[in-house]
Structure 1
Amino acid sequence: MSKKCLIIGAAMLDIIMEIVRLPRSGEDMYAKGQKMTVGGCAYNAADILKHFQVDHTFFAPVGTGMYARFIEEELKRSGHESAVKSGQMDNGYCLCMVEADGERTFVTMPGIECRFEKEWFDSLAGEDYESAYVSGYEIEGEGGDVILDFLESVPDILVYYAPGPRITYIPDEKRDRLYRLHPVLHLNETESISATGADTAEDAALLLAEKTGNVVIITLGDRGVLLCEGGKTSVIPAERAEVVDTIGAGDSHIGAVMAMRALGNSFEEAVRTANKVSAMVVGVKGPTLTKEQFEKGF
């Protein structure tokens, strides 16, 4: 039996508001449109694995409350099921403000997804998984040490780590524990430079690769993706995209990389396909693709 991918993280309510620009302090502004959907970095990545039909476990807690009810209904509708249920508190939500040029700004209210508990992992057989995904939001949260304890208990698992914009907020001890797991790092140019103090993404990639001893993937927007593997860097060109909004672009990219690697492809091949997937995601409203949208792109 082939091993599976484990997607650890969040399912949250995304409230997506279309605005002309971000309001100034004290300003009143109308939104042009609104959409409510399930989001969260882990959910967005897992949705891509589902499209590629890669066997995986979606390990994101669904709590109790009005947001949790909405999320659970939407998970069922979209063919997902979380392996974790908790009666302690509600799920969090994210206000996603999308400006006219497609750039997005997030304000997040954390919920149960930041409070991972040891007992949740007791149902998992770590040896069943070849890889695991985790994001910076959950590592930074109160349950971050519990997640790290689990990952450390499965020495053969390959960790894919997307620190996201929280990269400079994560305590050094947690960061060092994670780097000792030799993760594949996936982050954007701004995050890589802020984390290392390097002048360029290439220098940042080499510095990060020294710390982790593994592949580093840095997204560069419309300039492509920098891949650092075996001490060498290369830039894989981006796919042309008509940007509607950039929500979920990074999450879908790492999801596609994991899917392609699980299907036996090289990192270069995986990144090329991931570039195509993320170009499709920025061309639609919201963080995910429908089955029809995905199949049309391939």
Structure 2
Amino acid sequence: MVKNILILGSAVIDVIIDIERLPKAGEDITGLQKGMVVGGCAFNVSKILDELQVSHDLCVPVGRGLYADKIRSTLQAGHHDVMIEDARCDNGYCLSLVEANGERTFITIDGIETKWLDSWLANIDAAAYDYIYASGYGFQDSNNSGDVILKFLRRKRPDCRLVLDPGPRLLGKRFQKELLGMGTILELNEGEAKAMTGRTDVREAAKELQAATKQPVIVTLGKQGTLCVNENEAFLVPTKPVKAIDTIGAGDSHTAGFLAALSNGKSLREACEEANRVAALVVQHVGCSLK
């Protein structure tokens, strides 16, 4: 049976700059711009699902301006309807600073993707979906977008699984408890799992999160692979070593691979294996892509 999937979140412009190291305060260094592409967690997950030929709806707001025009044309080229348009301002952008050692630092300039309105989602049927993806970037205490998205998620069916990536900013404190209790499968990295729980041991952190969600918790461990903690078991799914060229979008591609497999009826272990495979392919290319 075909599963209905909704990818809910943002599309922004990623400006990728290679630098030797982060500058000190007051210092002037040179960098090499490697690209200006459409990104954002939701867009990246959708792009990989497209490349995996997994049908889904992508719901991201598109504003008015130079960046919005690029996002709109990219969505249309990928045969995605623009489900939300709002002319109040342009879409935002993210400076992705990539050091020589591979470490990534992000500076985000917010745009229309942080200004959600109830009217945007009024005509979208949450109950039509079996899986809904969302990112922690949409649930920050500093703005009201999370309230809008949470109202929408309350309309989903109880058996619909929310696949939630908290992201490096994590979930706003006023949203976390309800979000974790919505049939939520967490997909996050080791640092995020530890930060959400205050635990120093990743397995203990994952177990604590699983006790809150009552659903599988998926933790990416880089070269070690993926830790999956379910109600009755915890297991590590190893990944094959590869030479990473660009890790931007690695987490999003892992989520896409996991969601694709799960929606196709695969087991948790098989879904983690597919997620590892997809992420390993993506990091061997510049940009979030399998090609």
TM-score, reference length from structure 2: 0.95
Structure 1 residue aligned with 2:151, among 149, 157, 176? 149
**Shift in Å, 1:121:** 1.2
1:79 Cα deviation from its structure 2 partner: 4.0
Q: Say whether residues 1:106 and 2:106 are aligned partners.
A: yes
> Paired residue for 1:199?
200
8 Å contact 2:2–2:264 — kept in the other structure?
Answer: no
Alignment correspondent of 1:73 = 73
Q: 2:279 maps to which residue?
A: 278
- After TM superposition, the structure 1 stretch with the greater mean CA deviation from structure 2, 237-246 or 220-229, is 237-246
Report the Cα distance in structure 2 between the residues aligned to 1:118 and 1:220, rounded to whole angstroms: 37
The code of the aligned residue for 1:287 comes to C
Provide the rounded CA distance (Å) in 2 between the counterparts of 1:150 and 1:33: 38
Equivalent residues in 2 for 1:1-298, closer than 5 Å: 2-140=2-140, 141-156=143-158, 157-167=160-170, 170-289=171-290, 293=291
The aligned amino acid for 2:92 is G
Verify the 8 A CA contact 1:103 1:245 in the aligned structure 2: no
Alignment check: 8 A CA contact 2:15 2:33 kept: no
Using the alignment, how far apart are the partners of 2:169 and 2:82 within structure 1? 24
Q: Distance in 1 between the 2:210 and 2:279 partners? A: 24
Q: Which amino acid aligns with 2:223?
A: D
1:267-297 superposed Cα distances (whole Å, 9 cap, x missing partner): 11011011011111111112233xxx2xxxx
Moved over 4 A (4+): none
1:91 alignment partner, SS class: coil
CA distance in 1, matches of 2:79, 2:265: 25
Query: How far is the alpha carbon of 1:124 from its aligned partner?
Result: 1.2
Deviation by residue 1:177-199 (Cα, 9 ceiling, x = unmatched): 10120300011101111111112
Q: Is the 8 A contact 2:57 2:80 kept in 1?
A: no
Measured in 2, the distance between the counterparts of 1:56 and 1:256 equals 13
* Structure-2 separation of matches of 1:104 and 1:79: 31
Check whether the contact 1:104–1:245 (CA below 8 A) recurs between aligned residues: no
Could you tell me how far 1:80 is from its partner in structure 2? Answer: 3.6
Distance 2:26 2:264 in 1: 51
| Aligned-pair CA distance for 1:172 | 2.2
1:103 deviation in Å? 2.2
Which runs of 5 or more residues in structure 1 are unaligned?
294-298
Deviation at residue 206 of structure 1 after TM alignment: 0.2
* Separation in structure 2 between the aligned mates of residue 242 and residue 142 of structure 1, nearest angstrom: 41
What is the CA deviation profile of residues 74-111 of structure 1, one whole-angstrom value per residue up to 9, with x for unaligned ones?
Answer: 22334444321111211110000111222211111111
